[in-house]
Amino acid sequence: MSPYQDDDFSKAYTTALYQTKGTIDLNVRVKSDENLEIDLLFVSNPQSPAWLTEDLGLFDALMQVHPTIFVEHYSGYLKSSHIIRCVTRFDLYTSGEKKEAKKRNETFSAAQKPFTWILVTGCSEKILRSFGGVRDSELGVGVYRLAEGLRMGVVVIRELPATPETLWLRGLIQRSRNTDRLVTARSIGRVG
């Protein structure tokens, strides 16, 4: 269990939204150090009918960028050290997967490497620039891609426009204000 209540909420929230669309693992340990656990590992099941019946707007678009997604959530402002820890987790996970593939006499290709989305309340332009971050023109305001080799993106939740497309991501902050709206939107079924 995370020492931070918002992190536990983020994991439970994302799990509830995506449990019908693929496989989810929480706190995936990539080393025997709690600080190097991947918050959430999502492996998409593109055949799941939930992709057609449940529209989670921008959140769905993010989760379909790659078949395997890491989601790291920071409830405050993103720091350089957070991104570096994400890179370390990615490297350790990928190394472990390569070793397992080798034991099975299989290869682990570059295409199998996951993509990481870092979900944050806020982030400075300076930090984004220092990691080669540029706004993702396809996904819109508040979504950035870091340098290509990092296989990472950042979603700055406070920058997201207040639209039905972003409702599920905006629900990760100000949860007390958004709880009623989220329950209502979820019961409607399709947003956006």
pLDDT tens figures, 12-48: 878 887 888 888 878 777 765 555 788 888 988 989 9
Regarding predicted confidence, which is higher, 68 or 29? 68
Regarding predicted confidence, which is higher, 21 or 77? 77
Residue 93 CA: distances (Å) to CA of 7, 14, 53, 116, 170: 21, 21, 32, 12, 28
> What is the token pair recorded at 157?
């939740």
Which among 46, 20, 57, 12 has a CA at the least distance from the CA of 165? Answer: 57
169 φ/ψ angles, rounded to the nearest 5 degrees: -75, -40
> What is the token pair recorded at 97?
């997967």
Whether the per-residue pLDDT at 83 is higher than 90: the answer is: yes
pLDDT band at 5 (very low <50, low <70, confident <90, very high): low
79 φ/ψ angles, rounded to the nearest 5 degrees: -115, 160
